[in-house]
Copies of this chain bind each other. A is one copy, B any other.
Amino acid sequence: MTIVTLGELHAHLGGHLRGDANIALTSVASLERAGPDQLGFLTSAKYLPQARASHAGALIVPEALAETLPQPCLAVANPHVAFARAAALLHDDAAVRGEGIHAAAMVAEDAFIGLDVHVDAGAVIGPGAVIGARSRIGALAVIGAGARIGEDCLLHAHSTVQHGCIVGDRVVLHPGSVIGADGFGLAWDGDHWVKVPQVGRVVIGNDVEVGANTTIDRGALDDTIIEDGVKLDNLIQIAHNCRIGRHTAIAGCTGIAGSTRIGAYCQIGGAAMIVGHIEICDRVIVSGGSLVAKDIREPGTYTSVLPLMPHRDWLRNAAHVRHLDHLAQRIRHLESFAKNASQPIEPAEK
């Protein structure tokens, strides 16, 4: 158990301390559940009632709210970030623990294992693979031949990095993630598909996180590239030769087809579908469930979802979608009638 005082948090995170600096904290918790040795946080005045009622030993709060709360507080400009840092201090990641190479790990003789690396039970590290210093390789993870993992990485149980792929520093791969499976490359030969060998790699930058069961395919000829700071949720598919720009975050269940390039600082909502061979510029937000079928050249928020309806209403409305063109024709018809009628009318044309 780690114990940190509020004063130590202050020294680590900056901000303005109000109250007892010697309060000892052992973990973080939600306002509702926190006890006297736990740290809570709030990001806006909306949560003041819960904060006031909270049994938390101390709180991280926005600068404007410190004075209004009974608990010892650390007031900072960005409480969410400060809380994340405090939580990282208090909570070791317990998912992959241990030291050195587990007796039941299977490490190829010519693999290069850096200083202070931990390889957990049953992990398989192929010939010529390189694992950077202080990286932790979870139980039953697989690192293929010649793959290179940077420093301070955390590869969870059952993650896979196929042969020759490159992973930067401080990268987290969650369970079941697959880096570098073959892209879906097929050539049609009259009456059947011929597999096109996928000889590119996946190259992942620094500070990237890849969610559980997310797949990133290797390039067909060139590489699939995930830039620094990209965050990928669970069950995402990134096809061959995509490039995802730095600090872009993509929510779960999203699919991105081949050779598409997404810019930096984008946010792609869950279950979005992005077709292949297009380009999305920097700072685009795609709403969850939307399908992107063309380039997006202007930053902004984009959406393509149908609103939910009670099924009965949907039955009445949805049929008309199939006849919108006809509906529009009928309106044009009525407009020309109106135009010709005694009382003139100027319908707006678009």
Binding site for B on A (CB under 8 A): 27-30, 32-33, 78, 80-81, 83-85, 87-88, 91, 93-95, 97, 102, 104, 106, 120-122, 124, 126-127, 138-140, 142, 144-146, 156-158, 160, 162-164, 172, 174-176, 178, 181-182, 184-189, 191-197, 199, 207, 209, 211-213, 215, 217, 221-222, 229, 231, 233-235, 237, 239, 247, 249, 251-253, 255, 257, 270-271, 273, 275, 285, 287-294, 296, 300-314, 316-331, 333-335, 337-338, 340-343, 345, 347-348, 350
Contact = CB atoms under 8 A, between A and B. Distances in A.
A347 B330 contact: yes
A307 B302 contact: no
B184 A211 contact: yes
A343 B340 contact: yes
Contacts of A320: 324-325, 327-328
Nearest to A94: B163
A243 to B, nearest CB: 14
A88, A95, A172, A335 pick with most chain B CB within 10 angstroms: A95
Given A84-B195, A273-B270, A309-B302, A325 B330 contact: no
B343 A80 contact: no
A253 B234 contact: no
A315 to B, nearest CB: 8
Nearest to A314: B303
A265 B194 CA distance: 14
Given A78-B189, A334-B345, 16 more contacts: A30-B222, A84-B187, A95-B163, A120-B124, A157-B162, A191-B247, A239-B252, A253-B253, A255-B270, A287-B311, A302-B309, A303-B311, A305-B306, A317-B325, A320-B325, A330-B347
A120 B104 CA distance: 15
B316 A325 contact: yes
A94 to B, nearest CB: 5
A273 to B, nearest CB: 4
Contact of A122 (B106, B145, B193, B292): B106
Chain copies in the assembled complex? 3
A32 B306 CA distance: 42
A38 to B, nearest CB: 10
23 contacts: A33-B221, A80-B188, A85-B194, A91-B199, A93-B197, A124-B139, A124-B157, A162-B175, A184-B251, A211-B215, A235-B255, A273-B288, A288-B293, A290-B308, A294-B308, A301-B311, A302-B308, A302-B310, A303-B311, A323-B350, A330-B331, A331-B331, A337-B338
A331 to B, nearest CB: 5
A329 B309 contact: no
Given A160-B158, A311-B287, A193 B229 contact: yes
Given A28-B199, A184-B233, A330-B347, A304 B314 contact: yes
A247 B192 contact: yes
A81 B194 contact: yes
A200 B190 CA distance: 34
A287 to B, nearest CB: 7
Given A221-B30, A311-B301, A81 B189 contact: yes
